[in-house]
Amino acid sequence: MKRLVVLISGSGSNLQAIMDACAKGEIAARICAVVSNKADVMGLERARQAGIEAVTLEHKTFANREAFDLALAECIEGYQPDLIILAGFMRILTDAFVNRFAGKMINIHPSLLPKYPGLDTHQRALDAGDACAGASVHFVTAELDGGPVIAQRSVNISKDDDASSLARKVLAQEHRLYPEVVKWFVDGRLSLSRGKACLDHTELPTTGKRLETDAA
| Positions in the binding site for ligand GAR (CB under 6 A) | 8, 10-14, 43, 87-88, 108-110, 135, 145, 171, 174
The residue among 10 and 147 lying less far from ligand GAR, judged by its C-beta, is 10
SS3 content of the chain, % helix, strand, coil (to 5): 35, 25, 40
The residue among 11 and 123 lying less far from ligand GAR, judged by its C-beta, is 11
In the complex, the smallest distance separating the C-beta of residue 176 from ligand GAR, rounded to whole angstroms, is 13
- Rounded to whole angstroms, the Cα distance separating 39 from 123 reads 28
In the complex, the smallest distance separating the C-beta of residue 97 from ligand GAR, rounded to whole angstroms, is 16
Cα→Cα distances 177→51, 113, 166, 197, 198, Å: 24, 14, 16, 16, 17
In the complex, the smallest distance separating the C-beta of residue 188 from ligand GAR, rounded to whole angstroms, is 25
Name the residue number minimizing CB distance to ligand GAR.
88
The residue among 58 and 203 lying less far from ligand GAR, judged by its C-beta, is 58
The residue among 110 and 179 lying less far from ligand GAR, judged by its C-beta, is 110
- Rounded to whole angstroms, the Cα distance separating 107 from 88 reads 8
Closest of 183, 188, 191 to residue 103, by C-alpha: 191
Given the residues 59, 109, 175, 201, the one annotated as active site: 109
Cα→Cα distances 32→69, 71, 101, 207, Å: 19, 17, 17, 30
Residue 41 Rama label (left phi>0; alpha psi -120 to 50; beta) = beta
- Rounded to whole angstroms, the Cα distance separating 42 from 119 reads 21
At 5, which helix (H) or strand (E)?
Answer: strand 2-8
Active site annotation includes 109: yes
Q: Hey, is 139 helix, strand or coil? A: strand
The residue among 19 and 29 lying less far from ligand GAR, judged by its C-beta, is 19
In the complex, the smallest distance separating the C-beta of residue 87 from ligand GAR, rounded to whole angstroms, is 5
In the complex, the smallest distance separating the C-beta of residue 43 from ligand GAR, rounded to whole angstroms, is 6
- Active-site amino acid positions: 109
